[in-house]
Structure 1
């Protein structure tokens, strides 16, 4: 029993002497300023841009140790192309099959930091229609500061990456409609 007490005292002393662990800040998305959109070449005529209006995300940031993680969930039903007919086609089993696969997810595996605590890229796994593929999103803008109106710490970013539709069983009409699409994420998040 004396050995156990000595061990416990030694453990408590070592914990008190250990340097403080940096706090991880957790941020929740601002639904009015968070969305995802994608663009693709349509028959060679134009670049079309369509978006998902309902995107939720939780971000954990430890800027001092340059670590972070993010989990994103996209409501596929919220797709918005500006055409009710095209929205229905994309929601159908011809493309996203929203009845079977109502959610697209992205879970980060690594944040890449540059100078001055800037996040420059986020690597992770994108899951669409039950198919998961690694994706790297290049962060084109990242900023954390006190929100001037809400008086809460906030962070925002813009990120972009490329994927092939056919990798996610969305390759209908390739090559007439280009296989490669560009993803864009716009997010603002408030500290919990």
Structure 2
């Protein structure tokens, strides 16, 4: 009977430790992360460009979203419109000025629940040396053990609308739209070295 009590006590202590350690840190997978932005070109078309991930960390607490956070770096060297001449033009001083401002960053300042599996992620977006607050509308697609990597994984989609002129990237407005649509999809996993502990 005494042994049983010890087992119950150990179980309760373990549960308490687990509850205290609820926020989990995930590394975003560059092979399963896309950061896309699109704009209108003279009313004729809506081109899309991709920003490749540099580094990305998500701290996620499903039970207490306020303890969650996001920190992402997007090098402009990875900018891809699928048109090499346009890639080079967007990196020039009249747009991103990538030689001077080589990365785009996003650091969350607040995460709030917004319905079932939905969140408002407010953060500081830095583009072209200018930092402005931006709100991402995020959806948790799935949380669980990744069947191939065998580590805890989360997947999110997120969207935002912003004005590029707010960041000093206003060339050719209004013929090339000021409003930019941003769409993000990502998978992020607990690093294997941490998961193995």
Change (3 A) 1:174 1:97: same
Give the structure 2 partner of residue 4 of structure 1. Answer: none
Output the aligned Cα RMSD.
Answer: 1.7
What is the SS of the residue equivalent to 2:177? coil
Length-normalised TM-score, structure 1: 0.85
Give the structure 2 partner of residue 187 of structure 1. Answer: 186
Distance in 2, matches of 1:177 and 1:33, equals 30
The alpha-carbon deviation at position 140 of structure 1 amounts to: 4.0
1:109 aligns with 2:109: yes
Length-normalised TM-score, structure 2: 0.83
Higher percent of residues as strand: 1
The alpha-carbon deviation at position 63 of structure 1 amounts to: 2.0
- Structure 2 residue runs of 5 or longer lacking an equivalent are 1-12, 192-197
Give the structure 2 partner of residue 81 of structure 1. Answer: 81
What is the SS of the residue equivalent to 1:162? strand
- Residue pairs, 1:39-188, within 5 angstroms: 39-66=38-65, 67-115=67-115, 118-188=117-187
Deviations 1:49-99 (A, max 9, x none): 111123421011122323300101001111111111110000111111111
Give the structure 1 partner of residue 26 of structure 2. Answer: 27
Is the Cα–Cα contact under 8 Å of residues 111 and 119 in structure 1 kept in the other structure? no
Aligned positions, number? 174
Change (3 A) 1:134 1:83: same
What is the SS of the residue equivalent to 1:185? strand
Distance in 2, matches of 1:114 and 1:134, equals 18
Distance in 2, matches of 1:121 and 1:153, equals 23
Is the Cα–Cα contact under 8 Å of residues 156 and 189 in structure 1 kept in the other structure? yes
Deviations 1:122-172 (A, max 9, x none): 111100011011100111453211101111100011100011010011100
